[in-house]
Amino acid sequence: MNINLPTLLDVAIGLVFIFFVFSIFVSGMVELINTFLGQRAKLLRRALEKILGKLADDFFDHKLTEVKEEKFWGFLKPVNYLSADSFSTVLIDILAKSDVPIPEGVKPTDHTFEKIKEVLLQTDNRHKAIKELIRPILAKSNNFQTFKDELEKWYNGYMEQVSGWFKRYAQGVVWIVAVLVAVLLNVDTIYLTNRLFTDSGLRDKLVAEAIKTTQDGGKSFEKDTKFGEYLHEHEHEYDAKLARDTTLTEPGSKTTHLTFILNSGLTDTDSLAVQTLYVRFIQDRITDLKLPIGWKLPSDKSKSDKWSLQPGQSIVLALLGWLLTASALSFGAPFWFDLLLKLVNIRNTARKPPGNPDPDK
């Protein structure tokens, strides 16, 4: 085994490329899990219950909120996103609800603003949480529009905080999925590194794929043209209303249909189907790489042999290798793609032939 600087660089590129691809696979699995379990909807409800208190049920039972619910396998699925305008509209309607007709000559917005201010006078426990929310907002509002604008501004800031909560939750899920992927697929960093050093064919193939990926900006692994072609080929496998769109039969319609599917507001059923296919798409890309991963099955099914490690793989080192892999995958695909770009640029620079000497010198 000839170990030199170019070989070390190629091994690093191959390993980083593997981390990049599997990080995409892990993030796809996490998104699939979150879509299936409706974690965003659950977190949104908990976040709003925290600020609305006992008015939360009224908020989610409001007609404008119910309209945003969608069918999911025959059941109504709670909303997982509410714009600031939707939030303020529903909350203001609840706060200003009254059977008393608007006095003649009074603007509806002025009447609504006065009804909102009356909430501060409520002494029942039902309005305790909402009073704490609107009191500071009313303090700097002199009319209805100002109140609405300030309420929406506050809501947007609160949603940024909620997004932080979701990211922390998602990071925990990423770590769990990364560990499962590393162990179940036997993605051993130590073993892969050794194989990259000793197998020049594997090393050259991964370097070539890495260079190709950096040249297209990683789009071949994103929900872009390549996945669009894959989605088009497997459209019969999901029952989404978009799959029956007539643009599928029109010439040159793949990109248009893909853009429609990936950028439009899909129902959760459709999103789950598309996300499932995306995970399979990445899985197929991994299979095409023919990496030395996975478990060796018994050659004779009649025997009680258990699955075994790859040839030359040690269980002790494998445990450490799986841990290293899981840790690496938790960094995410963007991190590994940026590092891959830098390594490929270094390789290209190092392999450039020296320029011709200046004859005048």
Are residues 262 and 118 part of one domain? no
Residues 6+ apart with CB under 8 A from 40: 34, 80, 81, 166
Helix runs in the chain, H state only? 5-37, 39-52, 56-61, 63-67, 84-95, 108-118, 128-139, 144-184, 189-198, 200-215, 225-233, 254-263, 268-289, 315-329, 333-350
Q: Is the per-residue pLDDT at 153 higher than 80? A: yes
Cα 361 from Cα 358, distance rounded (Å): 6
Are residues 87 and 54 part of one domain? yes
Are residues 226 and 133 part of one domain? no
Tell me how many domains the chain contains.
2
The pTM of the full predicted model, rounded to 2 decimals, is 0.73
Full DSSP string of 27-78: HHHHHHHHHHHTHHHHHHHHHHHHHHGGGHHHHHHSHHHHHT-EEETTEEE-
Chain position carrying tokens 């197998």:
199
Cα 9 from Cα 350, distance rounded (Å): 10
Residue 79: give the domain boundaries: 39-158
The neighbour count for residue 161, using CB atoms within 10 Å, is 9
Residue 133 lies in a domain: yes
Are residues 192 and 332 part of one domain? yes
For residues 104 and 180, the model is more confident at 180
Out of 128, 158, 188, a domain closes at 158
pLDDT digits 0-9 by tens, 187-205: 999 999 999 999 999 999 9
Secondary structure class of 184 (helix, strand, coil): helix
Contact 60, 257 (CB under 8 A): no
Residue 230 lies in a domain: yes
Can you give the pLDDT at residue 314? Answer: 84
Are residues 302 and 191 part of one domain? yes
Q: What are φ and ψ of residue 238, in 5° steps? A: -135, 145
Residue 124 lies in a domain: yes
Q: What Rg value do the Cα atoms of the chain yield, rounded?
A: 28
Are residues 188 and 246 part of one domain? yes
Out of 126, 158, 190, a domain closes at 158
Residue 354 lies in a domain: no
For residues 242 and 319, the model is more confident at 319
pLDDT digits 0-9 by tens, 222-256: 766 667 667 666 665 554 444 444 333 343 434 33
Out of 125, 158, 191, a domain closes at 158
Are residues 25 and 51 part of one domain? no
pLDDT digits 0-9 by tens, 101-131: 667 767 888 889 988 998 888 877 788 899 9
Are residues 316 and 303 part of one domain? yes
Contact 17, 213 (CB under 8 A): yes
Q: Out of 24-28, 149-153, 167-171, 277-281, pick the least confident.
A: 277-281
- The average pLDDT across 297-311 equals 62
**Residue of 275, 324, 318, 323 lying closest to 294 (CA atoms):** 318
- The average pLDDT across 308-335 equals 91
Reported confidence tier of residue 39, pLDDT bands at 50, 70, 90: confident
Can you give the pLDDT at residue 235? Answer: 60
Cα 254 from Cα 258, distance rounded (Å): 6
What single DSSP character describes residue 358?
P
